[in-house]
Homo-oligomer: A and B are copies of this chain.
Amino acid sequence: MSSRYKTKQGDILLDYLKSRQGSHVTANEICEHCKAHGTPIGTATVYRHLEKMVDEGIVNKYNIDSNSPACFEYIGSENCCEEMCFHYKCEKCGKLVHLHCEEFKELCTHLKEHHNFVINPMRTVFYGICEECGEREK
C-alpha cells in the first residue's frame, strides 16, 4: 500500500491479492479468507483498501454482473502503464491476458482524435473467448 500509514490489515490484503495474482477475488472472498486465517478484517476496510488500490492502478476491478459482486485482481505496478498494454479476459476460462500491441495504440489515438476520449488502459478490459476455449467449442 502506498497509503499514508502502513497497517497490518493493509499488508494482509496486499499479500492475499498478490497470492491470487492471475485470478480474481470478490470482496466477500477476501473477508472470508481473512476470517478463516484468524485475522478478520471489516468489510468496510476491505472495500476502502480495494478502492485505493484500484485508484493506484495496482488492482483492477471488474463488474461482471450487476447482481454478482465486483471482482478484483492484483496486477502489480510495474507492467503496462506507459507501455500501452491492455488486457483481455476470457469469459469461459477466466484467463486474463496482457498484450502489447500497436493496434491498440492506434485505437487509443483514434478515440482521442475523433471522439475526444482519453482511454485508461489500466481499467479497460476486453471480454471475449480465447483461443483455447474457442477451439474447444468447435
Contacts and interface: CB of A to CB of B under 8 A. Distances in A.
Interface string A57-74: 000000111100110000
Interface in A85-100: 88, 90-91, 97, 99
A128 B134 contact: no
A118 interface: yes
A125 interface: yes
- For chain A, what secondary structure do more than half of its interface residues adopt (helix, strand, loop), or is it mixed? mixed
A97 B117 CA distance: 10
Interface residues of A, number: 35
A43 B101 CA distance: 41
B88 A116 contact: no
Contact of A129 (B88, B91, B117, B128): B117
A127 B119 contact: yes
A80 interface: no
Interface stretch (A14-22, A30-38, A103-111): A103-111
Contacts of A110: 101, 103
A65 to B, nearest CB: 5
Which 8 residue pairs across A and B have the least CB separation, nearest first? A116-B131, A123-B127, A119-B128, A66-B70, A63-B66, A103-B110, A120-B128, A118-B129
15 contacts: A63-B64, A88-B111, A90-B117, A97-B117, A101-B110, A101-B114, A101-B115, A103-B107, A103-B110, A104-B107, A116-B130, A116-B134, A119-B128, A120-B129, A123-B127
